[in-house]
Structure 1
């Protein structure tokens, strides 16, 4: 059957889990696996677990309850161990690492920021600022059969797009990092050139949100900022 893992806490966490249940149908009963210094919140793993709305919500409810009372390391949905004994072994083997991470995330939440830029606006900027792009563009217009020039133009524009996205990404993260404990890169989407998670202390959450709003305002309507949070600190486990 296996052991489904929800989160890891320090041994002294209150673990107020009454009234909530785990994943599966019927809902699994929550229990704990303990070592001297750590505790894992687990349940029996249901067969053929899928990311159904009810199960995802149950997984999230456990995280929210634990984080309301102290530090917790949330596990990704669907993480299953062989049995309770294996979970206990991992807790003991990685004890120091888990304790350091618990100390780091204590009192913090994760905020995930995505940023996209209007492609037409970016291309206009490249055309305006790059003499070589303008030269190649003019040559391909005058000579539609100039294959080598078309290839060179495409490669140059791609390089310019990547370089400008990287500069914008570095600038945005640098401006916001002062209100965060840590940052973690998240795989970008095709649309977003920036996808970063920030670990933010609760008392600095308002300042962080205001900093994101200010940055978005300074960059204007051609940039699309999307901020999600507060979230359990999945990216920092």
Structure 2
């Protein structure tokens, strides 16, 4: 039998059917028993996320990487709990009552260009020559990206305890992770829904604090621990 690991919680964290806790003192790792020859697929990744989203509603959780496994309970304790118990407790305390919300912002291109023209009139001046046009285009693209980042900070900064900018895709959208109080998530959702018409905003949450949980790093093992 192999254990599939989900995350680290306090030992008294309530668990739904199908999951169990591997306990060490006041800490525990949430696990499920899977066959020793089980192969993980895309639907398992979705199920893993669903489990974590359900768990974070009832208390803090430090999510473990999808696909982390262990051969038995003692291996879980030895790898995930015992070496850094004090640091894990501090992280759980810090994240108590907090959840993550992922936000995507897509700004209206015309609005962005108008804002840039107001701050840098040179961008609207006529130019001649192919090379100059290419250079102008690159300059405008860089300015739009920077403006989008700054505008995102203005729109989202007051909604969270902390925020992290995630990887930027090529389509120019801004992706952010917000750390918010679970009891304020409805207010955050309402604020995002009420953003100006020049930005299209979507939000996903509550999520476990992927972007904000900090676990001591470990040498990767054959069982998938970081």
TM range (shorter): 0.7 to 0.9
2:87 equivalent to 1:107: no
Is the contact between residue 192 and residue 202 of structure 2 (CA under 8 Å) also seen in structure 1?
no
- Once the two structures are TM-superposed, the CA of residue 82 in structure 1 deviates from its matched residue by 5.9
**Structure 1 equivalent of residue 158 of structure 2:** 175
**Structure 2 equivalent of residue 143 of structure 1:** none
**Structure 2 equivalent of residue 139 of structure 1:** 127
* Residues 80 and 210 of structure 1, relative CA distance in 2, 3 Å threshold: same
Measure the CA separation in 2 of the matches of 1:188 and 1:97.
31
2:187 equivalent to 1:188: no
Match of 2:41 among 50, 56, 78: 50
* Residues 48 and 130 of structure 1, relative CA distance in 2, 3 Å threshold: same
Structure 2, unaligned stretches of length 5 or more?
214-226
- Once the two structures are TM-superposed, the CA of residue 57 in structure 1 deviates from its matched residue by 5.2
SS of 1:190's partner is coil
- Once the two structures are TM-superposed, the CA of residue 115 in structure 1 deviates from its matched residue by 0.6
Match of 2:187 among 197, 207, 219: 207
- Once the two structures are TM-superposed, the CA of residue 192 in structure 1 deviates from its matched residue by 4.8
* Residues 139 and 183 of structure 1, relative CA distance in 2, 3 Å threshold: closer
Q: Which has the higher helix share?
A: 1
Deviations 1:84-132 (A, max 9, x none): 4332123111212221221122223222111111224323443465332
Q: Which has the higher contact order (CA 8 A, sep 6+)?
A: 2
Measure the CA separation in 2 of the matches of 1:204 and 1:68.
13
**Structure 1 equivalent of residue 52 of structure 2:** 63
CA RMSD of aligned residues (A): 2.7
Note the 1:1-237 alignment, pairs <5 A.
2-13=2-13, 15-18=14-17, 21=18, 30-45=19-34, 47-52=38-43, 55-56=44-45, 58-81=47-70, 83-89=72-78, 90-127=80-117, 129-135=119-125, 138-140=126-128, 146-176=129-159, 180-214=160-194, 216=195, 219=196, 221-237=197-213
Q: How many residues align?
A: 210
Higher Cα radius of gyration: 1
**Structure 2 equivalent of residue 27 of structure 1:** none
- Greater alpha carbon shift after TM alignment, 120-129 vs 165-174: 120-129
Length-normalised TM-score, structure 1: 0.74
Length-normalised TM-score, structure 2: 0.77
